[in-house]
Amino acid sequence: MTGKSHVTIGTITYASLWAHPLGALGAPTLADTRSILALPVALTLVLLGSLLPDLDHPEGRLANERFLGLPLLKPLSWLISAIFGHRGATHSLLALAGIVALGELPFLPWAWAHLGLLVGWGYAFHLLADGLTKSGVPLLWPLDLRFGFPPLRGLRFTTGTWREGLVVAFLSVACLANASRAFVD
């Protein structure tokens, strides 16, 4: 999927389930607060997580993001790409677990804020979204197995096609419908 699609999917699913949890399925909160003031920070962390797996692609959105005019993450992206390739280690459950652990381990000073759960939300939805593409994802890396949803490769789509846009649009409408229920209930 494209960077725009990943950002849309990560943030819209988070915002939807933050506004109106579905039973036990709700969005994690920043520092255990449901304050509307914490929502922009939480969404920013989800957005970062939704782009983070593609740091293994030097032409990816995050790798080309500029800080003070410099693409600071580009060298790291080249290194990750050279070692693991695109859709390698960074697209695995191992990487997701590592990201969540870095933000949630109780002995780390920022664990109280639940940064790992928020970045992990975007990261997980990135993996799920890439699982919808023909390439699939190596969820069990370093094993050389790729997983896709649905399992039949012919039913999945190629990145950047109209079918990707259709999936993103459908999911966006469903999430907006769910979030609007917060105003009705």
pLDDT on residue 45:
95
pLDDT on residue 63:
86
Report yes or no on 156 lying in a domain. yes
Q: How many structural domains compose the chain?
A: 1
Report yes or no on 28 lying in a domain. yes
Report yes or no on 71 lying in a domain. no
Cα–Cα separations (whole angstroms), residue 45 to 75, 84, 90, 92: 22, 25, 17, 19
Report yes or no on 77 lying in a domain. no
DSSP labels for 54-110? Answer: GGGSTTSTTTT--BTTB-TTHHHHHHHHHHH-TTSGGGSHHHHHHHHHHHH-TTSTT
Amino acid at 49: G
Amino acid at 159: T
Region 163-176: mean pLDDT is 95
pLDDT on residue 28:
87
Region 173-182: mean pLDDT is 92
Report yes or no on 170 lying in a domain. yes
> What's the pTM?
0.92
Only one residue has tokens 């997980």, namely 124
pLDDT on residue 165:
95
Region 157-165: mean pLDDT is 93
Report yes or no on 133 lying in a domain. yes
pLDDT on residue 11:
96
Report yes or no on 147 lying in a domain. yes
Please determine, for residue 93, whether its predicted confidence score (pLDDT) is greater than 90.
yes
φ, ψ at 74 (rounded to 5°): -60, -50
CA pair distance 143, 18, nearest whole angstrom: 35
Strand partners, 67: 70
pLDDT in tens, 113-158: 999 999 999 999 999 999 999 999 999 999 989 999 998 888 999 9
Residue numbers of the domain that contains 111: 3-49+95-183
pLDDT in tens, 1-50: 999 999 999 999 999 999 999 877 888 888 888 888 889 999 999 999 99
pLDDT interval class at 185 (50, 70, 90): low
CA pair distance 22, 57, nearest whole angstrom: 35
Report yes or no on 100 lying in a domain. yes
Contacts of 81 (CB under 8 A, 6+ apart): 56, 57, 58
CB 134 within 8 A of CB 148: yes
